[in-house]
Chain A
Amino acid sequence: MDGLAKLQCKLVQSCFARPRVYRFAAAFIWFGDRPNGMKSKGRPTIPVGPDEFLYFRWFRDHVEGNNLPRPDQISVPDQSANRSGLGGRCWYVLIPEMGSSVEAATKRLCMGVLQIRDRDLEYQVVVKDSALHFKAIHDPVDCNYFHCELRVFRNGARLSRDDAEQLRREEKSDFKEGKKWFRTEMAKRLSNTTERLFPIPAIISTAGGNKPI
């Protein structure tokens, strides 16, 4: 486990999780913007390397009792993540979008971070006539050069969340099965690594309905 990365996340959380400190940092350090290092500034799109980490935000109640991420909370397709390569920092994934309310911003800053190597994230499964390929794609945006998306390719063509809505009923059902294979396999891979979570997520989802029995 990268101790420095853990420390950085802890520091960001302990400093910026207080609304006043966050407001001060956003206004006077980042000038109402995101950290300078996060911005794209015309840098090119570069494929994610197999050894790079991908960072996801994670809620505390989306973890099972043994501290494993719950497969039913792994969102796919088009899930956003940040990459560690090209100078990406783990805590960048906690920095809220510009214009977020202070409440939303502090909530995001208090989430946990989950990391997985790109080679462990890539997955292929065939369900009936659908060959599904799950892969992280570098998708830089102006305010976040390290932004990636977890995309799904069905028989070689990208299948976005909107595309999936257009599928026929049987195809949708097959896609659901493919996603379930992916989510369960990801949870298993994360359970087999010692470098999955840092720091322990401090905040729970506000969506509700996630109490243990």
Chain B
Amino acid sequence: MMLDSISTEVRSVESFDSTGVATLEMRERAKSKRMPFQPLFDRFDSMTTLVTPNEGPPWLSKCLQEVTELGSLSDYEATTGVAAPNQVSIRNARSILSVLAKIDLCPSRIGPSSDEGICISFNSRDRYADIESFNSGDIMAASYSANSDTEVWRVCEAEFLRTGRKISRFLGES
């Protein structure tokens, strides 16, 4: 009986759908065969809760976390003389990252900017680009390489995707 329930659980876990989430039907099926007070069932429950919907590339959650952490930099202003990123720049940076995730453009670094805000930078060989989300609400992007002219442009919310594609093309050029 015990062995039987173990095999049921294994089948259920292996039957996750393509996005990595157990379907409701599978969960219900597993539930109906559950026996109370068996530790293995608790383990299965924790497995299902650990699996989260696949909503973006793997780097996105890490980057969003980094941005959130920038909101709690202690003593940043005292150390650098520059205001730490505020909620406006954090909100905009999170929106930018969410849009960049759609084209899978992973930043090389995220950090506070010397001009009060957050800088999301991209680096590929001798090419550099960044998008800065300032505390004032302004958003600006820039790019340069040894062989091309420096470019700086303002970005509004509707242009995040276009800017991401432009940077992606720029970094991909040889």
Contacts and interface: CB of A to CB of B under 8 A. Distances in A.
Interface of A: 64-66, 68, 70-76, 169, 172-173, 176-177, 179-181, 183-185, 187-188, 191-192, 205-213
A185 B150 contact: yes
Nearest to B85: A209
Contact of A208 (B73, B82, B115, B126): B73
Contacts of A180: 115, 132, 140, 142, 152
Nearest to B80: A207
Contacts of A179: 115
- Residue in A73, A212, A213 whose Cβ sees the most chain B Cβ within 10 Å: A213
Which of A185, A187, A209 neighbours the largest number of chain B CB atoms within 10 Å of its CB? A209
B114 A192 contact: no
A65 B73 contact: no
Given A177-B140, A211-B66, A72 B128 contact: no
Instruction: List 5 tightest A-B contacts by C-beta distance, closest first.
Output: A72-B119, A188-B144, A184-B142, A210-B111, A72-B113
Given A176-B138, A184-B152, 16 more contacts: A64-B123, A66-B123, A70-B109, A70-B119, A72-B114, A173-B136, A173-B138, A179-B115, A187-B144, A188-B146, A188-B150, A191-B126, A206-B79, A209-B112, A213-B108, A213-B109
A209 B144 contact: no
Contact of B112 (A64, A169, A177, A207): A207
B119 A192 contact: no
Nearest to B119: A72
A173 B137 CA distance: 9
B146 A191 contact: yes
Contact of A184 (B74, B113, B126, B144): B144
A29 B70 CA distance: 43
Interface residues of B, number: 43
Contacts, number: 110
7 contacts: A65-B108, A73-B113, A184-B143, A184-B144, A205-B79, A209-B69, A213-B66
Contacts of A73: 113-114
B81 to A, nearest CB: 8
Contact of A172 (B70, B108, B136): B136
Contacts of A74: 114
Contact of B110 (A177, A192, A207, A213): A213
Contacts of A188: 144-146, 150
Interface string B74-88: 111001101000000
A209 B111 contact: yes
B3 to A, nearest CB: 46
A188 B109 CA distance: 18
B154 interface: yes
A176 B75 CA distance: 24
A169 B152 CA distance: 19
